[in-house]
Copies of this chain bind each other. A is one copy, B any other.
Amino acid sequence: MDAAVTEGFDLGRWSGERLVQVERALSDWVVADAPAGLGDAMRYAVLDGGKRLRPLLVLAANEAVRGNALAALRAACAVELIHAYSLVHDDMPCMDNDVLRRGKPTVHVQFGQARALLAGDALQALAFELLTPDDERIPAAVQARLCRLLARAAGHEGMAGGQAIDLASVGMALTEDQLRRMHRLKTGELLQGSVMMGAACGQVSPTAHQALARYGAALGLAFQVVDDILDVTADSATLGKTAGKDAQQDKPTYVSLLGLERSRAHARELLQDALQALDASGLQDTRALRALATMVVERNN
């Protein structure tokens, strides 16, 4: 499989069709009638925002393995809820203390800290509720596997663990290995987890499973390298968040460690690794996965 196959693929159209489903499902499942304004805070945190990269990765991987579409839509939404809750908690005053996200007041600014904390907690629970419907069309084995993957990607050996390292690393000199570990946990595990959750909606050979894991790992790391590059090169308007924040907060980044040019080269290497993994996967249609990896590295926000 080569670049020509990807070239004939319209990612914008593919994504657009799937995002309609994802947005509708999120709006249906994150209900406003949760008690005492909690539902409003949850919806505010989730709806109308974000590139929905993680849901798209779930759906693309599921399509590559021809898995269960009902399971995949739930998995896509569940992983987005985990991502959304992590942003709510991360923005709070005791963490990054951000007042704006995607041009809107952050959840704790809009709803108060206590409700932001609870909304994040409830979104995490809702993610696991979405994965385990009382619905025989989604086999229990798939439900359990999805929960296992998401719990690990979100927990102390995944996203939450990475955030703890991040907190402890401000102002510290990290080696490239330490920086890689932080990012692998903080953002990489959930991105790779999205790919593996999509794969878990179907049956895959050990070869394909390993290839998708390699693709997900490379894409997860590439995402963060590009994030670090954009923090230096893009302006806040393009980025939709405060540019230059890492340097301001004295956070270790790929750019501070490797410099801009080597960081760019590293991102390109990671993209090649992700694409080669797909070549070796034995899966028939990996066009969406290829296009998403390319987009992650070539994006400007």
A140 at the interface (CB under 8 A from B): yes
* Residue pair A122, B34 in contact (C-beta under 8 Å): no
Say which one of A18-26, A147-155, A253-261 lies at the interface with B.
A147-155
> What are the residues of chain B within 8 A of A134 when measuring CB–CB?
148
Interface size for A (C-beta < 8 A) is 59
* Residue pair A163, B132 in contact (C-beta under 8 Å): no
Q: CB within 8 Å of B: which of A57-95?
A: 85-86, 89, 92, 94-95
Give the distance to chain B from A99, nearest Cβ to Cβ, in Å: 15
Report the bound CA distance from A42 to B156 in whole Å: 9
Provide the main secondary structure of the chain A interface: helix
Report the bound CA distance from A241 to B194 in whole Å: 43
* Residue pair B114, A94 in contact (C-beta under 8 Å): yes
Closest to A113 in B: B94
Q: How many copies does the complex hold?
A: 2
* Residue pair A150, B128 in contact (C-beta under 8 Å): yes
A131 at the interface (CB under 8 A from B): yes
- Could you write out 8 A-B pairs with CB less than 8 Å apart? A35-B164, A35-B168, A38-B156, A38-B160, A94-B113, A94-B114, A125-B155, A132-B148
Taking A35-B164, A144-B144 as given, write out 20 further A-B residue pairs in contact, using a Cβ cutoff of 8 Å, ordered by the A residue number: A35-B156, A37-B164, A38-B156, A94-B112, A94-B113, A94-B114, A121-B121, A122-B161, A124-B124, A125-B151, A125-B158, A126-B151, A126-B156, A127-B151, A129-B155, A132-B145, A132-B147, A133-B148, A143-B147, A144-B147
